[in-house]
Chains A and B, each alone.
Chain A
Amino acid sequence: MEPTISFFSGFAPKDLLFLGEAALRTMWISILSISIGTVLGVVFGWVLYEGKWAAALTVAPILDVFRSVPLIIQLVLFYNFAPIIGLNLDPFASGVVILTIYTASLVASVARGGIEAVDAPMRRAARSLGMSYWQDLRYVVLPIGGRAVFPAWVGVALGVMKDSALVSVLGYVELLKASQILITRTQEPFLILSIAGAFYFALSYPISRYAASLERKWAQ
């Protein structure tokens, strides 16, 4: 009897490599979005802090939209409608753009909180030493406020890293998408999702440990 063509095959060691590569893609898209998004978010946070009513009418509502609409909807909308305005972005680039804006919108509130954490007398003292507005921001507000809101920022970063899984809906083969592909082939969802989960854990745990050790150091 002819052997039947098998559509399914068990989990093989090379699949682990496949998942590992996908984890690297998750890491890459996260690092890009979180770092660019953080820089933008700090700028937006400063605008929110300094801009008063002008910012309340312009930047704030836009950030509110990105903060409030589910990421998956933002991704699908952007990926499908960007070509209409002439932007032909692949799933990776689309994912980076949306994750970056999403990160920026979350970091903006964190950054504003950080600036507010440095009270007026402290800043007056810095200015009284002859520091310019920007020197005060760079050497006093950034380190003091930054430390105050660092735990909140770590929360945002880890959240965005996990939310990057949603870029899979655009067809980008990051960790979650890779898992789905393997589940379809092996029919072993429990095993594969456990491995994927372990990869996510391996990506975030060192970050939270490192963050915790930094906080301990600063607390001294």
Chain B
Amino acid sequence: MIEIHDLHKYFGSLHVLKGIDLNVKKGEVLSVIGASGSGKSTLLYCINGLEPVQQGKVVVDGTDVHAKGTDINKLRQQLGMVFQQWNSFPHLTALENVALAPKIVKGKSKSEAREIAAQQLKHVGLGDKLDVYPSALSGGQQQRLAIARALAMEPEYMLFDEATSALDPELVGEVLETMRMLAEEGMTMICVTHEMGFARDVSDRVAFFHQGVMEEIGPPEQIFGNPQSEHTQKFLANVR
């Protein structure tokens, strides 16, 4: 379970997150929507400790992410993350991209790591691209590679930071399909997304962020069908 209590985040004097309270249970799929700059990506960065926080805390399976004694590198193995930019390691083949972290972080043997990698690449539909370098893959394939790379660490949670925003429109579908598959397999996911269709169809809950505040959270039927907050109504009217 991911527990977020009264989380505040500042970039200098800019107050980006203004007291977020949020719990995400195992097996749940949460979509986070909202305008750019509303703090939704920053929330993900705070959850896996890529950004420090100024007040409040994030607790993942009982471990305080931002506490002094926390082994953040160990904790991050539980929190797979996929970014807007896929960030494939250009000097490694698809297989090596995925096998690297299991090998050096988890200390798996080379053959074991490669086996895991091959398995995860097949999982995301890249079984025929094992020995291909990222430069020969499309954006959608590279993003699926990034998903496989995160999955190879066998995380309990997956964080998606606008995973389809940088893709050409015709490549968005294959990545959403992969995310949908993970959701169906029961992966716990927090998806910051602009894909309203995905948020509506796949999520258990949808959270709407507005200027650093979580304005509204609820089942997709409520958020999309009967939004309570004025800001949510306005936002949804504009994206439709």
Contacts and interface: CB of A to CB of B under 8 A. Distances in A.
Chain A contact residues: over half helix, strand or loop, or mixed?
helix
A216 to B, nearest CB: 14
Interface stretch (A80-88, A99-107, A139-147, A151-159): A139-147
5 contacts: A125-B81, A129-B76, A129-B149, A143-B89, A144-B89
B104 A135 contact: yes
Given A128-B150, A130-B101, 17 more contacts: A121-B85, A122-B87, A125-B81, A125-B83, A126-B89, A127-B73, A129-B80, A129-B100, A129-B101, A129-B105, A130-B73, A131-B101, A131-B105, A135-B104, A135-B105, A143-B89, A144-B89
Contacts of A131: 73, 101, 104-105
Nearest to B79: A128
A122 B92 CA distance: 14
B48 interface: yes
Which bucket holds chain B's interface residue count?
20 to 34
Contacts of B87: 121-122, 124-125
Contacts of B94: none
Given A124-B50, A124-B83, A220-B133, A130 B105 contact: yes
Interface string A39-55: 00000000000000000
B91 A130 contact: no
B12 interface: no
B24 to A, nearest CB: 17
B120 to A, nearest CB: 13
Contacts, number: 59
B90 interface: yes
A220 to B, nearest CB: 7
Interface in B114-171: 133, 146, 149-150, 153
Contacts of A143: 89, 91
Contact of A128 (B74, B81, B89, B90): B81
A130 B77 contact: yes
Given A135-B104, A139-B104, A220-B133, A129 B91 contact: no
Contacts of A132: 73
B83 A129 contact: no
Contacts of A124: 50, 83, 87
Interface string B44-80: 0000101000000000000000000000011011011
A46 B101 CA distance: 23
A218 interface: yes
Nearest to B104: A135
Contacts of B83: 121, 124-125, 128
